[in-house]
Amino acid sequence: FSSSLPLSFGDSDSIETEGSREEVVPKLFPAPLSISPLLLEKLVYDALVWSSLNGLVVGDKSVKKSGTIPGVGMVHAPFSLLPSALRESYWKQACDLTPVFNELVDRVSLDGEFLQDSLSRTKKVDAFTSRLLDIHSKMMEINKKEVIRLGLHRSDYMVDAETDLLLQIELNTISSSFPGLSCLVSNLHRYLLNQHGKELGLDSNSVPGNAAVRQFAEALAKAWTEYDNERAVVMFVVQPEERNMYDQHWLSFLLKEIHSVNTIRKTLSEIDAEGELLPDGSLAIGGQIVAVVYFRAGYSPNDYPSESEWDARLMIEQSTTIKCPSISYHLVGTKKIQQELAKPMVLERFLEAEDVAKLRKCFAGLWSLDDSEITKHAIERPELFVLKPQREGGGNNIYGDDLKEMLLKLQLEKIEEQAAYILMQRIFPASSLSYLIREGISHENQAISELGIYGAYLRNNDKVIMNEQCGYLMRTKVSSSNEGGVAAGFAVLDSIYLT
């Protein structure tokens, strides 16, 4: 099933595959859940009906207009039939970390010099990061201050089986996707366990409630209120074609339904064409004032095919609109900054000792490539590392032999280009038997999971209006490698069963 619509493990809206570059070392869990074929068939059928009735859907790749016209060519989002087990202590730990990461992002975002310095070498070799930094330095030059700051983040974790540690994969500060669909998967699992829990020996109360989409809508609405213009709208920045549009529509629907806030959807190129900066600094699109800009595009070089998109990004940044995220928040979420923050004595610049200790506990090994000791080790044992460029959206990381070759190449020919990457300790979660449902078909596989915790942060000057954990996203992907040693890996949406 490697050829059709898999779900990315990335943080963007992409529902493309993470790629076949990952080779995965499977670790078997002792007791797989056994389900009779009859019950399995019933569960799958009920789950597919539930998904269709409740909007757990994405655009169907095989239908032409499914990425542009809502209601055309929908297919259920890939999901795991049953929730995946997670020890309650990890769940609590991850929830507990959320307000601290929210606060950290805000504080680091205010240190423009730190961002520029940390990324200065990366800037020379990575054109995309360089463009983002150019906007950032322009804002520094004019001394632009973001008084109202909104972050809708998602911090992702895996549990390392060998050390029993919950370790952070990354922190997404732009375009954190699936707040809408993840809530639905939790509801789907609760429904299935309410119907069939006895036969399965599972209790629906062990699936934590998931209010990510409500809380994100609330954060956007509160930001809109702070902007204090009754007639202003929230603008979703979107890609021209988006098969994950229903996840986004859930958010705009609740904004309207619960908070009576209007949203508009625009691409960066439309914003360039229709937008203007008014004399008072506000941003208007076709005459409508924009209170909040919420990016669900703009995280990848592909979102900027021409200068027009960059012009739009700059115009947004120059305006008084509340940006989710601002260019500073965006940069704080880069892999390079993650690695810089993991260096000794850096977190201490931004947080109190108690919070520093909490965060450090979930940091995996992170290194820059000018660390020759570690680079040498990674060339000898590439399977223990992940090589990451400054990209978002999944499918960009380098593993195994490719990692080794890339490091050798960078060492011999392209020393400068080392700054485009970071090295990270490879995390190996325990795998367990899962039923991954895609296009109506159940695939039984050993699978591993990644836990994402959403966080919302809203601040107006000195006043923190919101700093909360907002629900979760579990994603599960196949962990077995086929004979060729190349994983047929794809990810599905999942929820949590607390143990």
* Catalytic positions, written as ranges: 154, 170, 172, 177, 335, 388, 392-393, 475
Nearest to 331 by CA among 8, 16, 113: 113
Q: Write each residue from 359 to 398 as x if it is in contact with ligand ADP (CB under 6 A), else as -, in one continuous string.
A: -----x---------------------x-x--xxxx-xx-
Q: Which does 426 bind (CB under 5 to 8 A by kind): Mg ion, ligand ADP, none?
A: ligand ADP
* 494 counts as binding ligand ADP under rule CB under 6 A: no
Distance of CA 86 to the CA centre of its chain: 20
- Give least dist CB 299 to ligand ADP, A: 8
Tokens of 204: 């629906």
Phi, psi of 482 (to 5 degrees): -85, -175
Binder of ligand ADP out of 150, 169, 238, 245 (CB under 6 A):
169
Q: Under the criterion CB under 6 A, does residue 303 sit at the interface with ligand ADP? A: no
For residue 363, give the amino acid letter.
Answer: F
340 belongs to the binding site for ligand ADP (CB under 6 A): no
Q: In angstroms, rounded to a whole number, what is the distance separating the alpha carbons of residues 47 and 173?
A: 32
Establish if 242 lies at the interface with ligand ADP (CB under 6 A): no
* C-alpha 382 chain-centroid distance: 25
Candidates 80, 172, 175, 320: give the one binding Mg ion (CB under 5 A). Answer: 172
| 397 interacts with, out of Mg ion, ligand ADP, none, CB within 5 to 8 A per kind | ligand ADP
User: To which H or E segment does residue 400 belong?
Assistant: helix 400-412
Beta carbons of 97 and 283 less than 8 angstroms apart: no
Is residue 172 a known part of a binding site?
A: yes
CB of 286 to ligand ADP, least distance (A): 33
Q: Please tell me the distance from the alpha carbon of residue 289 to that of residue 221, in angstroms, as a whole number.
A: 15
Number of residues near Mg ion (by CB under 5 A): 5
Interface positions, 422-441, toward ligand ADP (CB under 6 A): 424-427
By CB under 5 A, what part of segment 360-419 binds Mg ion?
392
Within 10 angstroms of residue 234's Cβ, the number of other Cβ atoms is 27
Tokens of 445: 């596989």
Q: How far apart are CA 498 and CA 100, in angstroms?
A: 23
Residues 97-136: x/- map of binding to ligand ADP (CB under 6 A)? ----------------------------------------
Of 153 and 426, which CB lies nearer to ligand ADP in the complex structure?
Answer: 426
Which residues, 6+ apart, have CB-to-CB distance to 125 below 8 Å? 416, 417, 419, 420
Task: Say what angle helices 307-318 and 127-141 make with each other, to 10 degrees.
Answer: 30
Distances (CA, A) of 68 to 240, 243, 273: 7, 8, 19
Identify the residue among 13, 317, 417, 450 touching ligand ADP (CB under 6 A).
Answer: 450
Q: How far is the CB of 284 from ligand ADP (least distance, A)?
A: 32
**293 strand-pairing partners:** 235, 323
Site string for ligand ADP, 395-414 (x = CB under 6 A): -xx-----------------
Any known ligand binding at 399? yes
- Which residue number, 50 or 157, has a Cβ lying nearer to Mg ion? 157
205 annotated ligand binder: no
Stretch of 6-14, 87-95, 369-377, 480-488 lying at the interface with ligand ADP (CB under 6 A): 6-14
Q: Which residue is nearest to ligand ADP (CB)?
A: 9
| Strand partners of residue 263 | 234
What is the distance between the alpha carbons of residues 167 and 161, in angstroms, rounded to a whole number?
A: 11
| 110 class by beta-carbon count within 10 Å (0-12 exposed, 13-18 middle, 19+ buried) | middle
- Is 396 annotated among the ligand-binding residues? yes
Look at phi and psi of residue 89 and say left if phi exceeds 0, alpha if psi is from -120 to 50, else beta. Answer: alpha
135-164 residues in contact with ligand ADP (CB under 6 A) are 156
Nearest-angstrom CA–CA distance, 134 and 203: 52
Segment interacting with ligand ADP (CB under 6 A) among 8-16, 59-67, 238-246, 276-284: 8-16
| Alpha carbon of residue 164 to chain centroid | 23
Q: Which pair of structure tokens corresponds to residue 361? A: 């506990």
- Per CB under 5 A, residues contacting Mg ion are 10-11, 170, 172, 392
Binding region for Mg(2+): 170, 172, 392
Q: Residue numbers of the site for ligand ADP (CB under 6 A)? A: 9-11, 18, 156, 169-170, 364, 386, 388, 391-394, 396-397, 424-427, 450
Residues in binding site for substrate: 154, 174-177, 242-244, 248, 296-299, 475, 486-487
